[in-house]
Amino acid sequence: MAEARPQATVRGLEGIVATTTAIGLVEDQRLVFRGYSIDDLVAHAQYEEVAHLLLNGELPDRSQLRDFKAEIARHRALSPFVRGLVAETSEQATAMDVLRTAVSAVATEDPEEGDNSQEAEYRKSIRLTAKLPTILAAYIRRRRGEQPIPPEPSLGHAANFAHMTWGAKAHPRAAEIMNAAMIIQAEHGLNASTFVARVTASTGADMHAAVTAAFGALKGPLHGGATDGTMRMLDEIGSPDHVETWVDKAIERKYKFSGFGHRVYKTEDPRAKHLRRFAAELSKDWTGPRYFEMQERLVDAIATRRPKMSPSAAEKVNVVNVDFFAATTYTFLGIPADLGTSIFALGRIAGWCAHVMEQHGDNRLIRPESEYTGPAGKTWVPIAER
């Protein structure tokens, strides 16, 4: 019998199919949640409908949506323990560190901690989805030196977040745009944070442990941090008139353009066009730097230079990704650039929870092999002879 040959090493697992899923489909120019196009969902859905779809497999009918929204509203409030934790950490810690720490802490008071049954995990998913906006809004306000605003049960998910974050000062379109942004970012296949959540869940760890691990992965700048980098890039450019010269110099110094490039999307990120529309509309009333005009010129400048780049450099700027226009959309709404990744997490929580439930529903430990590249044949040397 011929000896089995080891598979070739694939760095970053690119192109490797690690599992099956019924939750989301990610293809070039196309993003689908349980059969529904992202375009349809952004145009018509409330975030709660999408969360219900991800967690249950179907869109809710009228009564199901009413009950689902009521259940989320019922679990928005934070315990004194978690409120104190957020208050103690908000002055020094980043938003992602506070969210990760608070989610982990919530596990200590969850009545079904350690119960991985589908029924218990569904209830945990609702509680996590409900509490996350309250945690982030409290962090944002405390960082500004303001007292948190309690959740308002009569408001929908996005509108309640806007209310808790800005109160009466919220932008008139904040609820509408946050609803769309949360939907856009609710699910995205086996991305890094979702993969980490499923790997953690595959060990038998519970929902809170898996989601906490996902937060750790999302904090990394190669996954969720390009909104902050995009705004730094635009501030460095300074003016639409500087774009062409800046791009030429950036290419010379092998600058990493924030908000460009994607592993799966080769010609279009289907999420970006929705955020571009919001950025374009909000920019009309914006009185600060001409960020959106800079973005438009930057996209054109990179597109004209891309054919002359090396294949590896061109691949890194193949498309405008979701973070590029999310950065300016959030800025125009009054959300500081460094909070972009935490806003991302508000939408993604339902997707993470759905994947943890799917993993536990048909589990096998995720344990890939590695190719050893270290030394061989060494023998022990007594310490006196080293």
Catalytic amino acids?
262, 323
Q: Report how far residue 216's alpha carbon sits from residue 373's, in angstroms, rounded to the nearest whole number.
A: 27
Strand order in the sheet with 30-33: 24-27, 30-33, 36-37
Task: In whole angstroms, give the CA distance from residue 276 to residue 328.
Answer: 9
Report the distance separating Cα 88 and Cα 142, nearest Å.
10
* CA separation, residue 198 to residues 22, 208, 352, 370 (Å): 14, 12, 8, 19
Q: What is the 3-state secondary structure (H, E, C) of 285-354?
A: CCCCCCHHHHHHHHHHHHHHHHHHCCHHHHHCCCCECHHHHHHHHHHHHCCCHHHHHHHHHHHHHHHHHH
Angle between helical axes of 80-89 and 118-143 (0-180°, round to 10): 40
349 Cβ partners below 8 Å, 6+ apart? 128, 129, 132, 211
Tokens 């199919």, located at residue: 17
Cβ distance 323 to 218 under 8 Å?
A: no
End-to-end CA distance of the chain: 45
Reduced to 3 states (helix: H, G, I; strand: E, B; else coil), residue 100 is helix
Residue 100 backbone dihedrals phi, psi, to 5 degrees: -60, -45
Structure tokens at 195: 């993969």
Q: Based on the number of CB atoms within 10 Å of its own CB, is 271 exposed (0-12), middle (13-18) or buried (19 or more)?
A: buried
327 class by beta-carbon count within 10 Å (0-12 exposed, 13-18 middle, 19+ buried): buried
**Rounded Cα distance, 119 and 116, in Å:** 8
